[in-house]
Structure 1
Amino acid sequence: MVMSGTGAAELMSTTETGAETAWEQWAPSVLLVEDDPGDAVLVEELVADGTLKMRLRWARSMTEAAEVLADEVPDCVLLDLHLPDAHGLEAVSLVQGLADQVAVVVLTGLAEEQTGLAAVAAGAQDYLVKGRVEPELFGRAVRYAIQRKQTEQAAVALQAGALQAQENARLERGLLPRPLLRGEGVRVVARYRPGRAQTLLGGDFYDIVQSADGTVHALVGDVSGHGPDEAALGVALRIAWRTLVLSGITGAEQMGRLEELLMAERARDEVFATLVSLAAVPGEQRAGVVRAGHHGLIQRTGPDVEWVEVPGGPALGMVPGGAQWPTAELPVPTGSSVVLFTDGLFEGHVGRGTERLGEEGLLGLAREGAGLDAEAFVDRLIGRAESLAEARGGLADDVAVVHLNWN
């Protein structure tokens, strides 16, 4: 039995010497599915006489092939289209169903070339006509089929990655809201930087809304954990918070509603969220702050930069139904700014050791940039924290920062 390959297998470039040498050193595994013992022996002879050495295994039916594919997936399947338990394109479909990552080369008779073309259209990588190919061309046909299948899989993976990137971008737009401001005199600088492990997805969230009476509301929060579930929960909490603010629900009642949402939406019982919500009337030298398990904030007044802690309650989800979240009054002199942020900003490592930047370290970085304007201050703060953690690959956690001034 001599076989012939399609044109694609005959277009071997003479400039591929190095690549061909590498292939000659590699012995791909090939499963021959053929019920005719005579044809099987001749395939073995083609393999033995060719330069491309193969590890050949023989199955006499589709049932036997299924047993082999259940234990080991070869690099290529040589598939006869006239089997006792599978015929024509049905055989191609069955092999693809058993191992969709394997290259398939179908074997046809001299008068069945159209069937071979139909098999390629149905998903096979190549076809060979029994009786019309030499050993060397046979090896090239198998090699090209394997390479073509690898290229197809790479293209599918690339497309899947592109679709995933689009989905991530949609989610990122939810994580990065536009401030809803109604009047003059409110200045906001907001930044969101995902941790290195998530690329786009993270559980940190923020928002800024100015209600109809002029009150400025700001939120920064952090869902425990990383990944799409936590990111989706962060988006849900942010949207719910904005809805509650616009509905006039603030303070402890607002925290209670958000906790109800968290408990309904979280993927696991141990998931919780910390957040801090601020409300201030422009022109007034104070703000109401509600803190749920979150750390303190930074206040800038002229050249002075201070870390401020206010009374608060537990994180959402930690004491379901039994928590209290008091509203603390924060003095904010004219010209002062308030900076809200998540703990990813100060929990990064410093150098190669186990030491972390910490709250004191972050305050030191903030004081170094005390004279900068709002945008430069925030960008420098994040940049310095990132550079200090560079030896450990950068900041591993998400970072959300809101710099707010309403006077």
Structure 2
Amino acid sequence: MMPSQPGAVDVASPELYRAAAWGAEEPSVLLVEDDPGDALLVEELVADSALGMHLRWVRSMAEAREVLATEVPDCVLLDLHLPDAHGLEAVSQVRASAEHVAVVVLTGLAEEGTGLAAVAAGAQDYLVKGRVEPELFGRAVRYAIRRKQAEQDAVALQASQMQARENARLERGLLPRPLLRGDGVEVVTRYRPGRAHALLGGDFYDIVQTADGTVHAMIGDVSGHGPDEAALGVALRIAWRTLVLSGVTGADQVGRLEEILMAERATPGVFATLALLTVSPDRRHVRMVRAGHHGVLVVGSGGITWVEVDGGPALGIVPGLARWPVVDLAVPDGAAVVLFTDGLFEGRVGRGAERLGEEGLLALARELAGQAPTAFVDGLIMRAEQLAEEQGGLDDDVAVLHLRWN
């Protein structure tokens, strides 16, 4: 006898055929049939089929429901004339008990129309009793299982696509649109959820220009991740815009935001960092308030610097006791200010605990000096992500606001 070629299957060996078709396990099949003669016929088909199966026989729908409550077979062979279920009702009951299991109905010779109706009602196939050869029987069961798996994969894919579209719509609704009243102010904003988050996290930002021409910008970060933190970030952002339009600014504004955080946070330990920027109508005076937030980048023709003015603690750390000074920020003519959250520089950049850090981010920014604002912001995020790729990418959310004025 000639040896088999590598990877070939010896069709004379049912065991090898089964392993090739199903791997290490044979499909489990639940036969729901009240007629012992028909059940014996199915047992013989299984014995003669090249496809091995683990067959279990029950006589009624009640017994089938008991089995399906604790076991999940690959396929149910279902007679449509049971003592406690008849016709398409039997198909509906099996699907209600085990929606992920393939169903093949067994019909009589004169009931092919019923078999087609069962397929339309959710069964994967039908077989006519007494008219099925062992090879066709095995193939029908195998294809029914594969067809059910394909149906489930298609449903899961469609659900995933719908969720992605819904997420995109939700993010568009939650992210702010800059409220600018005239020319002379250029804004680039980006929000990138962390690798473990599908939707917005606790980072938030906004920019508003009031009627007198003053430009107000804000960026913040709620501690933690999840829907509660995201909701709190949105609440703080909306409250900030309301306060700005109501004429409340500076330290008073931060105090009001802390009151809102205290009222809205889900757990006592939640806090939020915040950085506020105010540009006067003549564009010559810039003031900043910092509440536990890190510094900003000032991007000018003379280079890029990291600036960190005096500030106070994050919101919620010492409620009612904190003070937040309003500090003048030196910004050269024609320069830009870049506000961002710490997710941009806290990504791991090595196999150990090393992170990009403030100095590393400043070095990346200086490599991108001279780029247009959009290219600068996108390049900064991309470079930080590339450095963190070895550790799976940036864990935390990233928000960036690039603000430049004439």
**What TM bracket, shorter-length normalisation?**
0.7 to 0.9
Aligned to 2:129: 130
Q: Is the 8 A contact 1:24 1:53 kept in 2?
A: no
Aligned to 1:112: 111
Residue 43 of structure 1: CA displacement? 0.9
Question: 1:79-136: per-residue Cα shift (whole Å, max 9, x none)?
Answer: 1222233222222222112211000111222333332222222211112222221111
Q: Secondary structure at the match of 1:349?
A: coil
Gap change, CA 1:271 and 1:124, over 3 Å in 2: farther
Q: Is the 8 A contact 1:349 1:389 kept in 2?
A: yes
Residue 268 of structure 1: CA displacement? 4.5
Q: Is the 8 A contact 2:17 2:50 kept in 1?
A: no
Q: Distance in 1 between matches of 2:324 and 2:150?
A: 57
Q: Distance in 1 between matches of 2:227 and 2:18?
A: 44
Question: 1:32-74: per-residue Cα shift (whole Å, max 9, x none)?
Answer: 1122222212111110011111111112222222221122201
Aligned to 1:7: none
Amino acid at match of 1:205: F
Q: Is the 8 A contact 1:24 1:51 kept in 2?
A: no
RMSD of Structure 2 on Structure 1 (CA): 2.6
Q: 5 Å matches for 1:372-391?
A: 372-391=371-390
Q: Secondary structure at the match of 1:311?
A: coil
Q: Secondary structure at the match of 2:276?
A: strand
Residue 378 of structure 1: CA displacement? 2.6
Amino acid at match of 1:61: S
Amino acid at match of 2:123: A
TM-score when normalising by structure 1? 0.86
Structure 2 stretches lacking a partner, 5+ long: 1-15
Gap change, CA 1:119 and 1:314, over 3 Å in 2: farther
Q: How many residues align?
A: 390
Give the alignment partner of residue 23 of structure 1, picking from 21, 24, 32. 21
Q: Secondary structure at the match of 1:294?
A: coil
Aligned to 1:85: 84
Aligned to 2:31: 32
- 1:60 has 2:45 as partner: no
Q: Secondary structure at the match of 1:217?
A: strand
TM-score when normalising by structure 2? 0.86
Structure 1 stretches lacking a partner, 5+ long: 1-17
Q: Is the 8 A contact 2:32 2:79 kept in 1?
A: yes
Q: Is the 8 A contact 2:18 2:50 kept in 1?
A: no
Aligned to 2:275: 276
Q: Secondary structure at the match of 1:181?
A: coil
Q: Distance in 1 between matches of 2:359 and 2:165?
A: 39
- 1:194 has 2:213 as partner: no
Q: Distance in 1 between matches of 2:141 and 2:256?
A: 63
Residue 356 of structure 1: CA displacement? 0.8
Gap change, CA 1:98 and 1:254, over 3 Å in 2: farther
Q: Is the 8 A contact 2:109 2:129 kept in 1?
A: yes
Amino acid at match of 2:84: D
Residue 363 of structure 1: CA displacement? 2.2
Q: Distance in 2 between matches of 1:261 and 1:153?
A: 45
Gap change, CA 1:341 and 1:105, over 3 Å in 2: same
Aligned to 2:239: 240
Q: Secondary structure at the match of 1:315?
A: coil
Aligned to 1:161: 160
Q: 5 Å matches for 1:174-323?
A: 174-198=173-197, 201-263=200-262, 265-320=264-319, 323=322
The farther-off stretch of 182-191 and 171-180 is 171-180
Q: Secondary structure at the match of 2:212?
A: coil
